[in-house]
Structure 1
Amino acid sequence: MEHDLAQSRLEALAHPARLTIVRLLAELPDGHTAFDPRCGSAYGVCFCHLKEKTGLSGPTVSHHLRILREAGLVEGVRVGRWTYFRLRPGALEALAHELLRLARQAKSALAEAV
């Protein structure tokens, strides 16, 4: 994974409000999930649900969603006038693999030093 991408994703997840949003989106599907009636796949949850669950103002939730989208962790799906938000699991998996790679590298370096 490119260093800058990993860094932007880690920075995005470092804020407690953004981590809360990611956790909420990871719980999909729930009662607030919108589904595509043609195929049944989840669009995601609406902005108002995230605002309600986090207790943050609309502009603050928008700010945090923008950062998460720019980091590639969240995507918005436009359906008519509404935008639904969902996680991009592959982005989280790539970050997890990068962290695991670093942990293994450090473990190996420590074993060699002994």
Structure 2
Amino acid sequence: MVAHVNGDDTLAESATGALEAFKALSNPVRLQILQWLREPRENFPVERAIADPDEVGVCVTHITEKVGLAQSTVSSFMSTLERADLVVSTRVGKWTHYKRNEEEIQRLISQLGSSL
């Protein structure tokens, strides 16, 4: 439970969002995926991409291949990262692509830096 300071709902929401992000990042595979997505052209097969990895993101199929886990596991990992607002998803045909939410990641870094 997050305590409200002077009735400040924004503070409570911010803390809750940060906790969700930290939970998502506590899994080493999810953290590794987020690190790979920082430079998608270097970490995934761009020549097989059906969309621009910088603009649209990386296909979940390519993430699954690189991680070497079941597609359902990787989809669950990506859903956790998306719920934490660390990645955004885009559908291209029947495929889901993921890219980092740089704005939210920077906000989280700033929040962490100002709270310690």
Which TM-score band applies after superposition, normalised by the shorter structure?
0.7 to 0.9
Higher strand share: 1
Q: TM-score, normalised by structure 2?
A: 0.78
Contact 1:29-1:42 at 8 Å conserved across structures:
no
Identity, % of aligned pairs?
32
Q: Which has the higher contact order (CA 8 A, sep 6+)?
A: 1
Structure 1 residue 28, shift from structure 2 partner: 2.3
**Where does 1:1-114 land on structure 2 (aligned, <5 Å)?**
2-30=14-42, 31-32=45-46, 34-35=51-52, 42-103=55-116
Q: TM-score, normalised by structure 1?
A: 0.79
1:33-90 CA-partner distances (Å, limit 9, x unpaired):
5229xxxx62111111101111111111011001001011111111222211101001
Runs of 4+ in 1 over 3 A off after TM superposition: none
- Name stretches of at least 5 consecutive residues in structure 2 with no aligned partner: 1-10
- Which residue identity does 2:20 align to in structure 1? S
CA–CA distance in structure 1, aligned partners of residues 71 and 29 of structure 2: 13
- Which residue identity does 1:25 align to in structure 2? L
- Name stretches of at least 5 consecutive residues in structure 1 with no aligned partner: 104-114
